[in-house]
Amino acid sequence: MKKQLLACLAFCGFASLFSCKNGTKAPEATNVVVSTIHFNKSDGADCDKPDTLRMDCATINLSYPNVEEGSGPLKKNVAAWAEKYLTGILEGYDSLGNPISSNSLDAAAASFFQTRKDFAKEAPDAPGWGWTAESEDTVLLNNGNHLTLEIVGYTFQGGAHGSPTASVATFEASTGKQLTWNDLVTDTTALKAVAEKKFREERADIFKPTDGSEPFKFDDIFQFKLPDNYGLTQAGIYCRYLAYEVGPYAIGETVLTISFEELGTLSKIKQ
């Protein structure tokens, strides 16, 4: 009896050790707390007046995410990602038309305002009161393992229309690593076919218009591709297509989510 008991215990211990070595250990959840930072500046002769009376004022009203609690690498990488996007939409151009690289939001804001002043000198009859840059941030996922953030921005610097922009990113909560398509799916070529099918379903209004207008078609100029802005959510993979990314400005932006059910075995992330 004693020998049988010892044999049983030895077998259980071996089985447990084997399981630990070969099983997939679920990552430990990391507590992440995200807040919003606001960056507001204005420049011009009449910025103290109500909006409707301004003739010489440019405004910057930015909101962006900040990791208050979380791993050090996550805090650092989220801050760098947000700053890169925001300085990018603010940066002005030199006299030769080259973009001016800025190493901080304050420097980028100064560049934005200086570009407006230079524009006013070159085109004194053009209105200079409408220049603006703004953004809003959203937490798309925060489950302790992954953090997905989105910043949606808009700038107007004269011209026929403004420029809507965005940036979406997913980070590993523990390491701070920003995930790419290759981290999320097994085959980007196969995913592209799934994404195009989803895109056509979501934008039936342009592919099968009911107002008699010409149906939209992808061509050599506007080819379908995976979006530059994407991220993991509880439902699947969130995609934001900006104007001009896969079609003309007139069709606007397209936002869609490819569900885990639609992804099937393509998904590397199991929920």
CATH entry 3.90.640.20 includes domain 181-266 = yes
Model confidence at 215: pLDDT above 90 = yes
How far is the C-alpha of 53 from the C-alpha of 50, rounded, in Å?
Answer: 5
Q: Which CATH number fits domain 33-172: 3.30.565.40, 3.90.79.10, 3.90.1150.10, 3.90.180.10?
A: 3.30.565.40
Q: 3-class SS at 124?
A: coil
Amino acid identity for residue 183 in this structure? D
Partners of 241 in the β-ladder = 254
State residue 224's pLDDT score. Answer: 97
Q: Which tens digit of pLDDT belongs to each residue from 179-211?
A: 999 999 999 999 999 999 999 999 999 999 999
For residue 23, is pLDDT > 50? no
Cα–Cα separations (whole angstroms), residue 233 to 30, 74, 93, 122, 224: 17, 18, 37, 47, 23
Q: Where are the domains of the chain?
A: 33-172, 181-266
Q: Which pTM does this prediction carry?
A: 0.85
How many CB atoms lie under 10 A from the CB of residue 178? Answer: 17
Q: Give the model confidence (pLDDT) of 78-131 as tens digits.
A: 999 999 999 999 986 666 667 677 889 999 999 999 888 888 887 767 665 679
Ramachandran quadrant class, 129 (left: phi over 0; alpha: psi -120 to 50; beta: rest): alpha
Say if residues 78 and 142 touch (Cβ distance below 8 Å).
no
